[in-house]
């Protein structure tokens, strides 16, 4: 579809949404931003960044700002399963609130165990009421792996002793859209790591409804909010990869936009943490970076308002947004050299990326071989 047609469709959708009553009477997002010292200019800059991140032309920026102003029209239910709450923390734990975290505050969060005041009977009642009241309208976000089958009892929650899997199934049944937030909910994650004592499963194995996976341990605040805005914009599933990850966020490899990539291509590697190469910002492949096998936008978007990300901080990517990363990407501080061909051919990431990966990993081998030859030559000279 051409852009003008998409533009008018989105505009129409946003105008319809703006006619809906606010789920809660709250202040406008503009007031909230002002209170936190965020100017309209900053907000529009943020909207432009979000528009680019969703791979839309810059003409959509005013619509993105409008979409952010409308997040209070959609009720959100957020469930916690077996996890560390890092996904929620990724959004909420900042010393100065970011625009993403303010938008999350502004969302009509009907149920979220970390931030709500209610507990016990009251909390369970609120959840049931929200599911009834907003049937077919709410967005369900689930964080954490889910003990399944005869092991469901490992996650027994609340005063009625309801199992996590039952909560997830019931909430999924009446949701308008379902997001698995984090690698645990998307793929099982740490909970499902061998020997998976609680038989933890991803959300997609608990419900038959379509689930959009937003992996990362944790995912960035941008990827969480970006998915909400995408849904407000289009009201449909985004284009997904073979693991049901939105392509706008997970369609690129960490390695392809990494700031250390020049060093990789030049065969300049950190040999061990703290060495001269580490001080010079060389490539972390030899100390275990899994960026060549990992699809996520961290190297482009970074975390905490673009401040930093794992590789900038000096540690390799551990592949946290890939299925079974805990079992397949370890040891985290050693390269996967002997497994790289298996990884490419047997897991079945999308075809084009595989071909690109094959070519680039050949370069890896060449890069390392060239580097080894140079080192050997230097030794001979010494
Ligand atoms: Fe933790 Fe979320 Fe990792 Fe899992 O993030 S950051 S263990 S993806 O479910 O809380
Ligand atoms: Fe960056 Fe890792 Fe690739 Fe090196 S191997 S260029 S550190 S992603
Ligand atoms: Fe995870 Fe790698 Fe990004 S470890 S946070 S996918 S850099």
Compute the distance between CA of residue 137 and CA of residue 21 in angstroms, rounded to an integer.
Answer: 13
Mark whether 260 and 231 lie in a shared domain: no
- Considering the domain architecture, whether residues 75 and 125 belong to the same structural domain is answered as yes
Same domain, 41 and 168: yes
End-of-domain residue from the set 218, 250, 282:
250
The residue assigned the tokens 């049901």 is 244
Ligand 2 pocket, 286 CB below 6 A? no
In terms of domains, do 359 and 309 share one?
yes
Q: How far is the CA of 292 from the centre of ligand 2 (A)?
A: 7
Residue 209 and residue 105 in one domain: yes
Check pocket membership of 182 for ligand 1, CB cut-off 6 A: yes
Q: Are residues 34 and 161 in the same domain?
A: yes
- Which ligand is the nearest neighbour of the Cα of 292? 2
In this predicted structure, what is the pLDDT of residue 336? 83
Asked if residue 137 and residue 265 are part of one domain, the reply reads no
Q: Is 11 in the pocket of ligand 2 (CB under 6 A)?
A: no
| pLDDT at res. 372 | 42
C-alpha 29 – ligand 1 centre gap (Å): 28
Range of the structural domain that residue 233 is part of: 2-250
Q: Within 10 Å of residue 278's Cβ, how many Cβ atoms?
A: 16
* Residue 44: Cβ-neighbour burial (10 angstroms; 0-12, 13-18, 19+): middle
Six-digit token string for 357: 């990966």
The CA distance from 11 to 5, in Å, is 10
Same domain, 233 and 356: no
The pLDDT value recorded for residue 366 is 40
Domain count, the chain: 2
Q: Which residues line ligand 3 (CB under 6 A)?
A: 216, 254, 294, 296, 298, 309-311, 317-318, 320-321
pLDDT of residue 93: 66
For residue 294, the CA-to-ligand 1 centroid distance in Å is 17
Contact 287 CB / ligand 2 (< 6 Å)? no
Nearest CA to ligand 3 atom 1: 320
Report which bound ligand comes closest to the CA of 187.
1
80 contacts 45 by C-beta, under 8 angstroms? no
Last residue of a domain, one of 250, 278, 296: 250
Q: At which of 215, 250, 285 does a domain end? A: 250
Can you give the pLDDT at residue 371?
Answer: 42
In this structure, are 258 and 329 located in the same domain?
yes
Residues 216 and 325 both lie in one domain: no
CA of 117 relative to ligand 2 center, distance in Å: 43
C-alpha 255 – ligand 2 centre gap (Å): 5
* pTM, 2 dp: 0.88
My answer on whether 121 and 184 are in the same domain is yes
- Total Cβ atoms within 10 A of residue 59: 11
Report the CATH number at residue 118: 3.40.50.700
| 218, 219, 298, 329, best to mutate for ligand 1 pocket (most atoms within 8 Å of CB) | 218
**pLDDT in the model for residue 338:** 52
* Packing angle, helices 120-133 and 164-173, rounded to 10: 20
If asked whether residues 376 and 262 sit together in one domain, one would say yes
- C-beta separation of 185 from 143 below 8 A: yes
- Rounded to the nearest angstrom, the distance between the alpha carbon of 284 and the centre of ligand 2 is 6
List the CATH number of the domain containing 337.
Answer: 4.10.480.10
CA of 219 relative to ligand 1 center, distance in Å: 8
pLDDT by residue for the chain (382 residues), tens only, comes to 678 999 999 999 999 999 988 887 777 888 889 999 999 999 999 999 999 999 999 999 999 999 999 998 989 999 999 999 999 888 876 666 788 888 888 888 888 888 788 888 888 999 999 999 999 999 999 999 999 999 999 999 988 999 999 999 999 999 999 999 999 999 999 999 999 999 999 999 999 999 999 999 999 989 999 999 999 999 998 999 999 999 999 999 999 999 999 999 999 999 999 999 999 999 999 999 999 999 999 999 999 878 899 999 999 999 999 999 999 998 999 998 655 434 443 443 333 333 444 444 444 444 444 444 334 434 444 3
């Amino acid at each position: 579809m051409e852009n003008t047609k998409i533009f008018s469709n989105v505009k129409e959708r946003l105008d319809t949404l703006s006619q809906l009553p606010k789920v809660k009477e709250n202040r406008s997002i503009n007031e909230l931003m002002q209170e936190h010292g965020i100017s309209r200019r900053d907000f529009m800059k943020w909207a432009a960044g979000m528009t680019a991140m969703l791979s839309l032309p810059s003409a959509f920026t005013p619509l993105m700002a409008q979409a952010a102003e409308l997040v209070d029209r959609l009720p959100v239910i957020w469930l916690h399963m077996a996890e560390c709450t890092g996904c929620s923390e990724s959004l909420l734990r900042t010393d100065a609130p970011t625009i993403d975290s303010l938008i999350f505050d502004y969302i009509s969060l009907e149920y979220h165990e970390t931030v709500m005041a209610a507990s016990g009977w009251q909390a369970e009642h609120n959840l049931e009421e929200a599911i009834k009241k907003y049937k077919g309208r709410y967005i369900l976000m689930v964080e954490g792996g889910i003990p399944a089958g005869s092991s469901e009892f490992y996650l027994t929650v609340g005063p009625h002793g309801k199992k996590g899997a039952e909560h997830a199934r019931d909430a999924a049944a009446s949701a308008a859209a379902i997001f698995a937030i984090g690698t645990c909910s998307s793929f099982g994650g740490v909970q499902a790591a061998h020997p998976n004592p609680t038989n933890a499963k991803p959300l997609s194995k608990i419900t038959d409804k379509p689930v959009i996976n937003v992996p990362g341990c944790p995912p960035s605040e941008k990827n969480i909010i970006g998915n909400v805005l995408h849904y407000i914009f289009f009201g449909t599933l985004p284009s997904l990869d073979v693991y049901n990850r939105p392509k706008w966020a997970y369609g690129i490899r960490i390695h392809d936009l990494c700031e250390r990539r020049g060093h990789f291509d030049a065969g300049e590697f950190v040999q061990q943490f703290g060495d001269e190469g580490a001080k010079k910002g060389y490539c972390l492949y030899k100390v275990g970076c899994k960026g060549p096998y990992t699809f996520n936008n961290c190297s482009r978007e970074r975390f905490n308002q673009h401040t930093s990300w794992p590789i900038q901080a000096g540690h390799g990517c551990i592949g946290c947004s890939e299925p079974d990363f805990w079992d397949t990407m370890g040891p985290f501080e050693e390269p996967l050299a002997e497994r790289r061909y298996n990884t490419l051919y047997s897991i079945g990431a999308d075809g084009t990326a595989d071909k690109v990966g094959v070519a680039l990993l050949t370069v890896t081998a060449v890069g390392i071989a060239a580097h080894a030859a140079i080192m050997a030559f230097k030794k001979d000279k010494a």
